[in-house]
Structure 1
Amino acid sequence: MLNAVLFDLDGTLLDRDKSLKMFLEDQYERYREYMVNVQRADFINYFIDFDNHGYVPKTAVYDQLFAALDISYIKPSDLLRDFDDKYPHFAYSYDDTLETLRRLQARGYKLGIITNGSTKHQTMIIDVLGLETLVTGFVISEEVGYRKPSPRIFEVMLDQLGERAEDCMFVGDHPDNDVRASRELGMIPVFKDNGYFERPSGYCITRLTELLDIVEELHANS
């Protein structure tokens, strides 16, 4: 029986592409006096390319950005510090994130978030998006010392909720970190397809509201 629906954060509940672009536009404008001969579009597009959907450390991203655009008069560490301080304030959810979570919550499902990342960033993003009142709990890799796809980070969440893996669904946008890892624990995996990766087998959605139909199907067959 399905009792809980668990989510990845970045790219699943958080519209990371939009959030990052909004932050980079703001960062460029605030540091524009140092961007001699650097076009705004190049600053944003190069960063997004080097960032590889968040899977490259930001230290390396800014180092590559400075080398590619020949930015002077300021150091990569200055913009990295600015990113650490300000990026979470630009967090923007998908347009159906809150609606979907509220409808699942109203149906009595426990909700949770399992995310890789820094405790400071991810906690702030959850707060900015207004998710804290909608979820029963959340687990952040830096805080617990395990990163997806390690089964241990999922088990920490299961212990918090008091649920068995087979009674939980996990929704995420990474075929390995989210889908394979949760499936191997016995959860029901749902892949949120953002167009970055090849679709794995099983349930697949492009919008979060599609989850509601999957949940109804599972309930009818239980």
Structure 2
Amino acid sequence: MERNGDRHAASKPVRVVIVDDHAVVRRGLRAFLDVLDDVEVVAEAGDGQAALDLLERMAAHRELPDVVLLDLVMPRMDGVLVTQQITGRFPPVRVVVLTSFGELERVQAALAGGAAGFLLKSAGADDVATAIQAAARDEVFLDPAVARRLTHRMVSPPTGLSALTARERDVLTLVAKGLSNQEIATRLVISERTARTHVSNVLRKLGLSSRTQAALVAVREGLVPPQA
């Protein structure tokens, strides 16, 4: 029996918005998708806030896309927060996240925030199309490599520095150098609130209670040289 969603997908292309802060990546994704008869790229945005502003305008004209193809790491607004905002403010829109192996914790957070699919940035055109079509049918698509990593993480959760994301290791290094949350935010081009969240996550994952303890761990692990 054919479902309503299948008839909809067969009758007209899936409308897609591409969100990535790298113009070259957006052009590459558009080139992938423009050759597909059942997918139509209707707009692009260069960061998360721009994407939310764009969707607000599209919603006002009743022109929301079916799927947003979203980079997980962007300036101005983290991809996890963007995912939560899109799924909360624009429920009909599905989010497919572009990720890398180093962003596994963010993948989990984005999944909890309502993302409908995850693709590695190295994914081929067929996988991109499959993920978009699955999202349009209200299904979840997980890149097999991402799924394996998530399963392994749940079975054998990492400890110590291995529990930190690449960004959290950067934050730990800056904490060890004595930078404040605002200075960390400036250095990493993120908001102070995001920097504060990263610091809290670092302390929690390492089982620490202070920035001084974090600095000592960073020195012990060789992330920064000891203070003279």
The answer to whether the superposition gives a TM-score over 0.5 is no
Structure with larger Rg: 2
Which interval holds the TM-score relative to the shorter structure? Answer: 0.3 to 0.5
Q: Structure 1 length normalisation: TM-score?
A: 0.33
Relative CO higher for 1 or 2, CA cutoff 8 Å, sep ≥ 6?
1
